A and B are shown apart, each in its own frame.
Chain A
């Protein structure tokens, strides 16, 4: 499978600021790739380079087999970079008409994308009267206008309310299952966990990890709160390794054995007040990775 986006050794310098520092990135066809990093990490800068808006200082970039910004590459790429930017005096509909003219897209596609982002009933209102979330949705509609193979979205759920966020995530997930390839950036860990197949973590312009989302989650554990604790710990070691965490015990065992664990503890006369499964959240992994990176910077 040829990669749709291939970036290696990408560097971008703004004066004294090294915004992107030797980033390698590969996005495969049909996947939803999450580009995760804190504010100022270099996400937007990288995405701007991929859409041909800015030139890299060094490194090689190939998008859809071509150079970023080439007409043929742009035609097959839909993007929304940073905040959605449209003509404030035109309606949402007219803004999309305009883009359809530039891109050579048929008129009926406009209605489709407006329907897709649930903006059809406000399409005739001026863009300047839109709420933040509506502007965001128009931005996503514009990105989908060309029916693109590759969709690049920079923080697509920015400014959306919870329901809007849920819809947007579902929409992005659907784009992925439709056979489209999605590259999205986010600083919301839960979001990436929910919608992405793979995630690249960037911090201070450097890629610190690139993993399948499943891989990053790590092993599953059972959280047990029981009394007396020492006795419980002795029994639990039969199931797997045990460590204390705050005043709970954590056992490395698959959650489907929770009932069995409970029965054994109760039969031994131990009071169990809490028993649940947990998994190492992406969040933990993220902070671990970005924190070590910062330490490395200092040292």
Chain B
């Protein structure tokens, strides 16, 4: 298992697409978390119109106190989509390149290989989260220094809880991509379907349910995106008014946590079960 894990890490580390995805996630977080708000702050005037956010409020959003909000605020939708693409290219690539047969005839069993792949993906996602956090923390420290803002940090407990929650959200989407890749033995189709689901269908569905079919609220609240948004909402303590897209309090934090863990387990089980019993041709 350890050898297989090392092999999977080597594959991930040397694959440029993995770095591109990470870079995209990082740049998105920094642009929406710091660059755009800072431009707004620097150019805004002190007495904003009614629809503007007060400058002091904008600054507070960029200080170390709120670093977790900016790190994981985009995870339910944007970074989630990138994580789904990661899962799909890593697992689907084995099918499109035909490398699955090469790997499965080495020695470890199919379950072990897939387990090692998921473990390596989990490691990669954790590194993404830490990397994005480090970049956000640097920005917030810089802004606090430049603008004489407070350099108070959230408690260690809150930091860890936020990062762990963010990791779980990304991991759930990543496993969804992996499970779809196994199902379709492909890369492009799972990416297309998954991204359309994350970016469009869930939001659409939530809107339709709340306005037309309130009786189906339980269903909308069981979907992965709602739970990802709710978990991020809970661990960041955001206000509903200034939460980024996808972050909302549909269900309680505890329930969101359990649902996401459940999704991770189901996606993993489906992928392993299918891979183990299928003919590799």
Q: Give chain A's interface residues, CB within 8 Å of chain B.
A: 48, 51-55, 69, 71, 74-75, 77, 79, 81-90, 94, 97-99, 101-104, 142, 146
The B interface, classified by DSSP as helix, strand, loop or mixed, is helix
Residues in B with CB closer than 8 Å to A102 are 3-4, 7, 103, 106-108, 113
- B97, A87: Cβ atoms under 8 Å? yes
Considering only CB atoms, which chain B residue lies closest to A45 in the complex? B281
Q: Is B217 an interface residue (CB 8 A)?
A: no
Residues from chain A with Cβ under 8 Å of B46 in the complex: none
- Partner of A101 from B10, B93, B101 at Cβ < 8 Å: B10
- Kindly state the separation between the CA atoms of A71 and B14 in the bound complex, as whole angstroms: 27
Residue ID in chain B nearest A143 by CB atoms:
B105
B279 interface residue (CB < 8 Å to A): yes
Produce 1/0 per residue, B11-29, CB < 8 A to A. 1001110000000000000
Cβ 8 A contact of B280, one of A54, A86, A146: A54
Q: Which residue on B lies nearest to A97, using beta carbons?
A: B10
B106 touches A85 (CB 8 A): no
Closest CB-CB distance, A18 to chain B, in whole Å? Answer: 15
Q: List 21 A-B contacts (CB under 8 A).
A: A53-B101, A53-B105, A53-B279, A53-B280, A55-B279, A74-B105, A74-B106, A77-B105, A81-B105, A82-B98, A85-B97, A94-B10, A94-B14, A98-B11, A99-B102, A99-B103, A101-B7, A101-B10, A102-B7, A102-B107, A142-B102
What are the residues of chain B within 8 A of A81 when measuring CB–CB? 101, 105
B145-166 contact mask (Cβ, 8 Å, vs A): 1 or 0: 0000000000000000000000
A56 to chain B, nearest CB (A): 10
Q: Give the distance in Å from the alpha carbon of A77 to the alpha carbon of B97 in the complex.
A: 22
In the bound assembly, the distance between CA atoms of A88 and B16 in angstroms comes to 12
Closest to A79 in B: B105
Tell yes or no: B104 within 8 A of A by CB.
yes
- In the complex, number of A-B residue pairs with CB atoms less than 8 Å apart: 85
Q: Does B211 contact A (CB under 8 A)?
A: no
Residues in B neighbouring A82, C-beta threshold 8 A: 98, 101
Known: A83-B98, A97-B10, A102-B108. A53 touches B103 (CB 8 A): no
Which chain B residues have a beta carbon within 8 Å of chain A's beta carbons? 3-4, 6-7, 10-11, 14-16, 93, 97-109, 113, 279-281
Q: What residue of chain A has the Cβ atom nearest to residue B17's Cβ?
A: A89
What B residues does A77 contact at CB under 8 A?
105
When C-beta atoms are compared, the residue in chain A nearest to B5 turns out to be A101
Of chain A, the residue at the smallest CB distance from B14 is A90
Given contacts A85-B99, A99-B102, A101-B4, contact A54 B279 (CB under 8 A): yes
B64–chain A nearest beta-carbon distance, Å: 38
CA separation between A48 and B279, bound complex, in Å? Answer: 9
A103→B10 contact, CB < 8 A: no
Give bound CA distance, A69 to B107, whole Å. Answer: 8
